[in-house]
Amino acid sequence: MTAETSTLEPIALELAGLADEMRAAAALLAPALEGLSPDQRESAANLAHYIAMRRRDLRGLQASLASLGLSSLGRSESHALDAVTRVLGILDLLLGRDAPRFPPMPSPIGLSRGRELLERHAASLLGPPPPGRRVRVMVTMPGEAADDPGLVRDLLAGGMDCMRINTAHDDERRWGAMIAHLRAAERETGRDCRVLMDLSGPKSRTGAILPGPRVLKCRPRRDEFGRVTRPARVWLTTPERAGPAPPGVDAVVPVGREWMLSLSTGERLEFRDARGASRTMDVLSAAPGGVIASCAATAYLTPGTRLSTAGAAQRSTEVLDLPAIEQSIALRVGDALILTRDAAPGAPAEIGAEGEILRPARIPCTLTGAFDAARPADRVLLDDGKIGAVIDTIGPDEMRLRITATKPGGDRLRADKGVNFPDTPLTMQGLTDDDAAALPFIAARADLVGLSFVRAPADVEDLARRLGDLGAGRLGVILKIETRRAFENLPSLLLAAMRMRAAGVMIARGDLAVEMGFERLAEVQEEILWMCEAAHMPVVWATQVLESLAKQGQASRAEITDAAMGERAECVMLNKGPYIRAALRALVDIVGRMEAHQDKKRQLFRELKIAGDFAR
């Protein structure tokens, strides 16, 4: 045996064993693939090949192949067995064999066929790619899109390829208006756009908290030395007009109509606030439906506070009803928090005269099934993971949590914030009653339906059955991977989705990061991308893409890099925000540029200007 043979033979034998395992995995799966379309059977077989490949630690084999100048299988997701058998064929040639010892399977999926299948499935689900780029862009609609056809038209003209409507918000009338605006914009611009409607899924959120006192704080602006730089501007108006205030107003105070109409510019108003402090306001000007006044000292107003004009001929009124202050629960590490099954409003902790806790804070949890499945020591994550806790004790109707993580100085927990149970084996209904009620509208008006909080193949099968009953089997389905269980069941979910007419996966990175741990998100999202490419299943890269730009008008460096990573998917989703037009322009530019450098995991070597400049 030559030195060369002694080096190559072990590598060939290891690859041969790997190929045999991959073939066996596909053979075992074959009976389950009955009823799939031919191209989906190819994709399912390739997924089985890839899963068998990734059961092994191949890093040593990859290093050996790379040292020989051969493919190290690092980009084989779409054509796993073909990649292995082609390397085997080259090794046979290097070993001097006239015929390959390890012949490939008949007609394995090659690189071009794998790419063709992925592109075909993506076009079936999301529509053909727009001219000049492969990656589509999805935009979540804000509520105001129902009343603003110009916004929808601008987004479509700016590069939106899929409109996303979240059925957890708004109603059928507003959803219908958004879609009508889109269809009109399509006719006007000549661009096509798919409509995705997300089912809200089972909600796991904090419930209501008892409202606070009905008190209004009027506070002037001050500099670093405490000097007033601008008095507080107060809008004195009638209760029926106590809605949005004019620009620049700090507080809205409902008062009697006749008294308000009697006020004149320059008049001074006198009152004692809720603390008994003597305060004044000066009437500045009239505004539609009210009067604007200024207050140069901090004042606390409550219903019944009497306002009087200065001078001998006093005219008085009382402050009318004020909205209650929205309560929140202050939490620090070590504090106790009671989650309750019933919906009775929660309350902050009751504190005694010596600072002792007489009764811990309480708040309802909308996911009642958690009380049946949770166990002591299970983790509970609140408000998108900002507050961490573990279960100390649990009973039929409440669980006592111990707070384990907050930001320095503590956090405040409010109503309607997310509650995650990453360690708890939850069993819950896949489609809620609200989802079932929304499905007829979705079946009639949408192109795609998003299955939120999917956990098991049975959830996919349930949705398929319901769509079939509605005669909506044509709809594409997007599985939103946002829980630990969904990630762990991903291969089974992909196989279940292959029975749909068109299917894809959304990496819902917000909830997924909370469930899996932020430090694992980068690893987890890569694994989802790999598995989906092996299944030739299109992926939507979602959650907080260019979030700061969409909401605040300024992107961070990290967000630009994250948006560029979206090129690895077939679609990137933007969330709503006041600057969504700017975020859309930026995203279209970023993914367009990156496609010249990157194709999924493969780097593309287009010419580089800096290299040409240096060579000259």
- Sketch the domain layout of the chain as residue ranges: 3-117, 134-201+431-603, 216-318, 329-420
CA distance 193 to 139: 11
Rounded-to-integer distance, Cα 129 and Cα 155, Å: 16
Mean pLDDT of 543-560: 91
Q: In the 3-class helix/strand/coil scheme, how is 368-405 assigned residue by residue?
A: CCHHHHCCCCCEEEECCCCEEEEEEEECCCEEEEEEEE
Site of tokens 């580089």: 608
Q: Which tens digit of pLDDT belongs to each residue from 428-468?
A: 777 889 999 999 999 999 999 999 999 999 999 999 999 99
pLDDT confidence of residue 546: 93
Of these ranges, 8-22, 34-48, 156-170, the one predicted with the greatest mean pLDDT is 156-170
pLDDT band of residue 268 (cuts 50, 70, 90) is very high
Instruction: Name the CATH code of domain 329-420 (choices 3.40.50.300, 2.40.33.10, 3.60.10.10, 3.40.50.150).
Output: 2.40.33.10
Alpha helices in 95-239 (DSSP H): 111-126, 149-158, 172-189
Q: What is the per-residue pLDDT across 342-364, written as a single tens digit (0 to 9) for each?
A: 999 999 999 888 888 889 999 99
Q: Which CATH class is domain 134-201+431-603?
A: alpha beta
DSSP strand pairing (387-394 vs 571-574): unpaired
User: What would the pLDDT profile of 77-127 be if each residue is shown by its tens digit?
Assistant: 999 999 999 999 899 888 887 766 555 555 568 889 999 999 999 999 999
The fold for domain 216-318 equals M1 Pyruvate Kinase; Domain 3 (2.40.33)
pLDDT band with cut points at 50, 70 and 90 for residue 598: confident
Average pLDDT, the chain: 91
Task: Categorize the per-residue pLDDT at 203 as very low, low, confident or very high, splitting at 50, 70 and 90.
Answer: confident
For residue 492, the tally of other CB atoms under 10 A from its CB is 13
The fraction of the chain above a pLDDT of 90, given in percent, is 71
152-202 residue pLDDT tens: 999 999 999 999 999 999 999 999 999 999 999 999 999 999 999 999 988
Q: What's the pLDDT score for residue 347?
A: 93
Domains 134-201+431-603 and 216-318 alike in fold: no
